[in-house]
C-alpha cells in the first residue's frame, strides 16, 4: 500500500525524471546547433569559396556571400548571429533555389509526411500482425517463412527493393506493361482538388509507399515477435490458462498488451524519422519531399539547404525521443515510480 508520502515522493521523482529528459533534449538541440555551425563554417574552409567552386562567379558576388555569412567578424559573434537567425526561423538562402531555405523546406514537408506517415501506419499494422502470429505459432511454417522474409528485407538496401518494384510494376517486364507511374507525385495538368486528381496522387503514391512499408515492417515484426516470445514464458499466462481462458483470449487480453510495450516505444522513436526516413526512396521515385530535397542539396552541394534539412531532421528525432520517454513512463508503472 502506498502511503501519501510515498506517493508524493513518486511524483517528484517522476517530475525530476521528465525534467531531466527535457533538459537532455534541449542540450541535444543546442549541440546540433553548435555542430551545424562548426561543420558548415569551419570545416569546409571558406564557405564563399565553396559556393563558387567549379563556377565562374564575379568577385563582388563572392564578397557579398562572405558578408552574408558575417565571415569578417570574430567567431563568437558569428556564432551568436547564427543562433539568433536560426531561432527566429531564418535558415539562410538556398544556393540552388535562390529563396529562403525555410520556405523551400516548408513546401516539401507535406508530401514526405503523406508518404512516410502512411507507410509507417501500414507497416505497424502488418508488422505487428506478422510478429504476433509468428510468435504464437513459433516454429510453424508461417513463422519460419515470415522470419526469413523479415531478415531478408532487413538485409537489403531499401532503394534496391524500390528499383526492382519500379521495374516490375512501373516500367513493366517483357510483354507486361507498367501498371503504375514511375515517378513524381502527380501527372502534370491534373486538377489536384478533383476526384481524378486524388486518384492520380494515389497511383503515384502506391509504389514508393509499398517499398517503404516492406522496408519498415520487418523491424516491427521482429521486435513484436521477440517481445511476445519473452512474455509467453511468463507464469501469469499459465495462470490465465489454468483459469480456463481460451488460447485466443490469453493471447489478446494478457500476452499482447504486455508485449506491446517495447513495440510502442519503437514506434514512437521511429516517428522522429518520419521526416527523414525516405531519402533514397524519394530519390528513386522522384517523390517531391524532404528526402529528394536532401538529395538535391547534397548533389549541388547546397550547404544552407543541407544544414536546414539536417536541423529539421535532428529536431524531429529529438522531440520524438522525449515523447517516447514520456509515453513509456506513462505506460510502464515500474518506470513511473522507480
Partner 1 sequence: MAGVEARAPQAEDTELLGPGPAPSPRAIVRARRRRAAARAWAEYRRNPTGMIGLAILVLFVAVALLTPLFVPASELDVTKATGVPFSPPSAEYPLGTDESGRSVLALTLWGSRVSLLVGFLATVISVLIGSVVGIVAGHRGRWTDSVLMRITDWFLVIPFLPLAIVLATILGPSLANIAFVIGITSWPGTARIVRAQALAVSARPYIDRARALGAGDWHLITRHILPNTVPLIFANTVLIVAVAILSETTLAFLGLGDPLRVSWGSMLDAAFSHGAASIGAWWYLVPPGLCILLVVLAFTMCGQALEAVLNPRLRGR
How many whole angstroms separate alpha carbon 284 and alpha carbon 278? 10
Query: In the range 163-182, which residues lie near partner 1 by CB under 8 A?
Result: 163-164, 166-167, 171-173, 182
| Binding of partner 1 by 154 (CB under 8 A) | yes
Tell me the closest approach of the beta carbon of residue 120 to partner 1, in angstroms: 15
What track of x and - describes contact with partner 1 for positions 281 through 320 (by CB under 8 A)?
A: --xx---------xx--xx-x----xx-xx--xx--xx--
182 vs 264, which CB is nearer to partner 1?
A: 182
Q: In b/e form, how buried is each residue of 139-164, taking b as 16+ CB within 10 angstroms?
A: eeeebeebbeebeebeeeebbebbbe
Chain-centroid distance of CA 37 in Å reads 23
How many whole angstroms separate alpha carbon 306 and alpha carbon 301? 8
Query: In the range 188-227, which residues lie near partner 1 by CB under 8 A?
Result: 226
2 vs 152, which CB is nearer to partner 1?
A: 152
Query: Degrees (nearest 5) of the Cα angle 133, 150, 177?
Result: 110
Size of the site for partner 1 (CB under 8 A): 48
Number of other CB atoms surrounding residue 40 within 10 Å: 19
Tell me the closest approach of the beta carbon of residue 36 to partner 1, in angstroms: 8
For 8, the grid coordinates are 508524493
| Binding of partner 1 by 34 (CB under 8 A) | no
For 319, the grid coordinates are 522531440
| Binding of partner 1 by 38 (CB under 8 A) | no
Query: In the range 14-33, which residues lie near partner 1 by CB under 8 A?
Result: 24, 27-28, 31-32
How many whole angstroms separate alpha carbon 326 and alpha carbon 286? 36
Query: Degrees (nearest 5) of the Cα angle 62, 68, 71?
Result: 80
Binding stretches for partner 1 (CB under 8 A): 24, 27-28, 31-32, 39-40, 43-44, 151-152, 154-157, 159-160, 163-164, 166-167, 171-173, 182, 226, 229, 272-273, 276, 279-280, 283-284, 294-295, 298-299, 301, 306-307, 309-310, 313-314, 317-318, 321
Amino acid at each position: 500500500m502506498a502511503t501519501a508520502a510515498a506517493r508524493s515522493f513518486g511524483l517528484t521523482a517522476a517530475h525530476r525524471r521528465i525534467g531531466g529528459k527535457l533538459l537532455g533534449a534541449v542540450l541535444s538541440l543546442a549541440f546540433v546547433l553548435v555542430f551545424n555551425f562548426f561543420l558548415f563554417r569551419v570545416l569546409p574552409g571558406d564557405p564563399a569559396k565553396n559556393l563558387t567552386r567549379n563556377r565562374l562567379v564575379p568577385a563582388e558576388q563572392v564578397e557579398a556571400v562572405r558578408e552574408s555569412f558575417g565571415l569578417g567578424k570574430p567567431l563568437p559573434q558569428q556564432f551568436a548571429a547564427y543562433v539568433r537567425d536560426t531561432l527566429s526561423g531564418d535558415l539562410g538562402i538556398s544556393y540552388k533555389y535562390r529563396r529562403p531555405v525555410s520556405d523551400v523546406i516548408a513546401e516539401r514537408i507535406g508530401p514526405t509526411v503523406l508518404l512516410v506517415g502512411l507507410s509507417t501506419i501500414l507497416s505497424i499494422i502488418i508488422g505487428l500482425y506478422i510478429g504476433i502470429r509468428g510468435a504464437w505459432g513459433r516454429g510453424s511454417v508461417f513463422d519460419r517463412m515470415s522470419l526469413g522474409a523479415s531478415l531478408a528485407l532487413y538485409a537489403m538496401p531499401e532503394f534496391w527493393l524500390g528499383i526492382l518494384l519500379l521495374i516490375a510494376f512501373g516500367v513493366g517486364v517483357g510483354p507486361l506493361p507498367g501498371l503504375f507511374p514511375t515517378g513524381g507525385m502527380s501527372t502534370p495538368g491534373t486538377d489536384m482538388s478533383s476526384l481524378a486528381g486524388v486518384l492520380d496522387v494515389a497511383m503515384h503514391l502506391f509504389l514508393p509507399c509499398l517499398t517503404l512499408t516492406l522496408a519498415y515492417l520487418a523491424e516491427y515484426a521482429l521486435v513484436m515477435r521477440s517481445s511476445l516470445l519473452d512474455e509467453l514464458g511468463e507464469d501469469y499466462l499459465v495462470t490465465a490458462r489454468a483459469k480456463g481462458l481460451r488460447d485466443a483470449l490469453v493471447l489478446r487480453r494478457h500476452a499482447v498488451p504486455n508485449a506491446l510495450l517495447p513495440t510502442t516505444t519503437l514506434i514512437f522513436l521511429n516517428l522522429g524519422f518520419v521526416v527523414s526516413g525516405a531519402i533514397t526512396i524519394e530519390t528513386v521515385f522522384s517523390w517531391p519531399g524532404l528526402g529528394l530535397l536532401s538529395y538535391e542539396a547534397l548533389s549541388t552541394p547546397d550547404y544552407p539547404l543541407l544544414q536546414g534539412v539536417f536541423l529539421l531532421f535532428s529536431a524531429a528525432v529529438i522531440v520524438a525521443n522525449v515523447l517516447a520517454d514520456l509515453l513509456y513512463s506513462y505506460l510502464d508503472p515500474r518506470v513511473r515510480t522507480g
